[in-house]
Amino acid sequence: MTDQQSAFITPGEATTAAAAGGRVTERAPQEQPEKKPAKGRSLWSDAWREMRSNPMFWISSSLILVVIVMAAFPQLFASGDPNYANLTIARQPPSAEHWFGTDRQGYDVYTRTIYGARASIMVGLGATLGVVLIGGLVGLISGYVGGWLDSLLSRLGEIFLAIPLLLAGILFLYIFPAEPGESFYVIIGKVILVIVLFGWPTTARLMRSAVLQVKPNDYVTAARALGGSPARIVFSHVLPNSLAPIMVVATINLGVYIAAEATLSFLGIGLKPPAVSWGLSISDAATLGMIREAPHMLIYPSLFLSVTVLAFIMLGDAVRDALDPKLR
């Protein structure tokens, strides 16, 4: 057998040739292409992939996007003036000219419903941002530092947590009522302030619990052993791995805070005319005579409020399902 023939010999032929006493020349091993290491996937990339396949995420996100655009650019949806009233057409049912009818003062219900989204979204976003920043910071410090500071911050949070949010809002806005001629944004700021003041303890306790779960992990211990500063350890390792439950609760709470603003306005201690909000519209319509005579005054603002709150709750559920591996 020649060298050229032995170069193309198969494994089976090699065994036969060896048994017959022939010379076998082994084939040179072929070079294998180097495999690139697989790129690691983070919790957030896995969550995004999970949310993209969830219809609830897309439905709720679409509804929220419409409401946000409605709040930012109400002129795209309604061309009328929300503060224009005509008593001669008061309490008219829905028609081609007034899609949602008119209220008892002659305001166009459709226009005021569209413009009412602005106050609700401003309160929801502002209160959620304040609660997450203050509650998250307090919980992060409390959980990571521990000791007497943890006890002090925990007791302080329990004091505020003992007062129900709506009751606190009623008391606060009753003591500091809206003055005649006071700016719309000042009243919005008061409502946001009272929600943040009595809403942060829940987020703080949740963040503290998440930090206590993350702090004993090996990567945190290794970073500390390698001489990492406390600030670097907190912002590089502890905080990113503690945000998941905060994101879920913040999304759901945004809808809750919108409902809280509507409730305070409904009770007459939140926003005041000439401000426009869903809570004020519901308050104007929520009398037995108006419900019977002009039910459209109550139906449409209540429907927009309910759909918006439901959309944020649905989004929170979708985010929770995506971030919790046990629910996948």
- Which tens digits make up the pLDDT trace of 219-272? 888 888 888 888 888 888 888 888 888 988 998 899 889 988 888 888 878 787
- Look at phi and psi of residue 179 and say left if phi exceeds 0, alpha if psi is from -120 to 50, else beta: beta
Q: How far apart (Å, rounded) are the C-alpha atoms in residues 187 and 118? A: 13
Residue 108 three-state SS: strand
| Closest to 160 in 3D by CA, of 129, 189, 122, 203 | 203
Mean pLDDT computed over 15-41? 50
Residue 304 lies in a domain: yes
- Output the CA angle 151-154-160, nearest 5 degrees: 145
Q: Is 99 exposed, middle or buried (0-12, 13-18, 19+ CB in 10 A)?
A: middle
Residues 180-204: tens digit of each pLDDT:
677 778 888 888 999 999 999 999 9
Q: Which two tokens stand for residue 192?
A: 């946001």
Identity of the highest mean pLDDT range in 10-24, 99-113, 127-141, 293-307: 127-141
Q: Please write the tens of the pLDDT for every residue from 154-184.
A: 999 999 988 888 888 888 888 887 776 777 7
pLDDT of 87-145, one tens digit each?
888 888 888 888 888 888 888 889 999 999 998 899 999 999 999 999 999 999 999 88
Answer yes or no: is 47 within a domain. no
The answer to whether residue 68 sits within a structural domain is no
Domain assignment present for residue 280? The answer is yes
Q: Is the model's pLDDT at 16 over the cut of 60?
A: no
Residue 259 lies in a domain: yes
User: Distance between CA 174 and CA 195 in Å, rounded?
Assistant: 14
Mean pLDDT computed over 292-307 = 88
pTM over 0.85: no
What are the phi and psi torsion angles at 97 (to 5°)? Answer: -80, -40
pLDDT band at 69 (very low <50, low <70, confident <90, very high): very high
The pLDDT, as a whole number, for residue 7 is 46
**Residue at 138: amino acid letter:** V
Residue 24 confidence class, pLDDT cut points 50, 70, 90: very low
Domain count, the chain: 1
3-state helix, strand and coil shares in percent for the chain, rounded to the nearest 5:
70, 0, 30
Q: What is the CATH classification number for the domain harbouring 136?
A: 1.10.3720.10
How many C-beta atoms surround the C-beta of residue 242 within 10 A? Answer: 25
Q: Name the residue range of residue 288's domain.
A: 118-327
Using the structure block, give the residue that is written with the tokens 């809206």: 178
Is residue 303, in this structure, part of any structural domain at all? yes
Q: Are 154 and 292 in contact (CB under 8 A)?
A: no
Whole-number pLDDT of residue 42: 65
In a domain, 51, yes or no: no
DSSP assignment string, 211-244: HHHHTTSHHHHHHHHTT--HHHHIIIIITTTTHH
Q: Do the Cβ atoms of 60 and 312 come closer than 8 Å?
A: yes
pLDDT of residue 166: 84
Q: How much of the chain exceeds pLDDT 90, in percent?
A: 25
Higher pLDDT, 137 or 21: 137
Kindly indicate the confidence band of residue 309, based on its pLDDT and cuts at 50, 70 and 90.
very high
Look over the chain and give the mean of its residue pLDDT values, rounded to a whole number. Answer: 81
- Quick check: is 32 in a domain? no
Mean pLDDT of 19-23: 48
Give CA–CA dist 70/123, Å, rounded.
15
Region label for 30, one of left (φ > 0), alpha (ψ between -120 and 50) or beta (otherwise): beta
